[in-house]
Amino acid sequence: MPTSKAATGAAKGKNASPAQDPSVSVGNGGELHQQAGAGQPDLTTNQGVPIADNQNSLRANRKGPTLLEDFILREKITHFDHERIPERIVHARGTAAHGFFELEKSLEKYTTAKILTEIGEQTPLFTRISTVAGGAGSVDTPRDVRGFAVKMYTKEGNWDLVGNNIPVFFIQDAIKFPDLVHAVKMEPDRGFPQSATAHDTFWDFISLTPESMHMVMWIMSDRTIPRSLRMVEGFGVHSFRLINADGDSTFVKFHWRPKLGLQSTIWDEAVKIAGADPDYHRRDMFDAISAGAFPEWELAVQLFNEEQADSFPFDHLDPTKLIPEELVPLEVIGRMVLNRWPDNFFAETEQVAFCPSHIPPGIDFSNDPLLQGRLFSYLDTQLSRLGSPNFHQIPVNAPKCPFANHQRDGHMQMQQPKGRVAYEPNSLANDSPRENPATGFTSFGADESGAKGRVRAESFADHYSQARQFYLSQTAHEQAHLASALVFELSKVDHLHIREAMVGHLLNIDEDLAQRVANGINLDKLPPAPKPAAPVQDLAVSPALQIIGKMKDTLEGRMVGILIADGSDKKSIDAISKRVAAEKATVKIIAPKVGNIKLADGSLLKADGQLAGTPSVMFDAVAVILSTDAAAMLGKEAAAIDFVRDAYGHLKAIGIDEGGQALLQTAGIDPDAGVIEITAPDKFIAAAKTRQWDREATIRTLA
**Which residues are part of the catalytic machinery?**
91, 164
The number of CA neighbours under 13 Å toward the Cβ of 293 is 18
Sheet of strand 453-456: strand arrangement:
4-5, 453-456, 58-59
Give the three-state DSSP class for 587.
strand
Q: Which of 64, 636, 152 is nearest to 365 (CA)?
A: 64
Task: Tell me, rounded to whole angstroms, the distance of Cα 80 from its chain centroid.
Answer: 21
* Radius of gyration, CA atoms only, the chain: 27
Element (H, E) at 581: helix 570-582
CB of 174 closer than 8 Å to CB of 377 = yes
Three-class secondary structure assignment of 548-609 = HHHCCCCCCCCEEEEECCCCCCHHHHHHHHHHHHHCCCEEEEEECCCEEEECCCCCEEEECE
CB of 366 closer than 8 Å to CB of 317 = yes
CB of 692 closer than 8 Å to CB of 653 = yes
Task: Return the DSSP state at 65.
Answer: P
Q: Which of 69, 37, 70 is nearest to 55 (CA)?
A: 70
DSSP per residue, 415-429: ----SS--SSS-SS-
Beta bridge partners of 455: 5
CB of 145 closer than 8 Å to CB of 165 = yes
Distance, in Å, from the CA atom of 482 to the CA atom of 217, rounded to the nearest integer, reads 7
Q: What are phi and psi of 477, to 5 degrees?
A: -65, -45
Beta bridge partners of 47: none
Distance, in Å, from the CA atom of 170 to the CA atom of 213, rounded to the nearest integer, reads 8
Beta bridge partners of 24: 34
Question: 603: burial class by Cβ within 10 Å (0-12, 13-18, 19+)?
Answer: exposed
Element (H, E) at 496: helix 496-507
555: left (phi over 0), alpha (psi -120 to 50) or beta: alpha
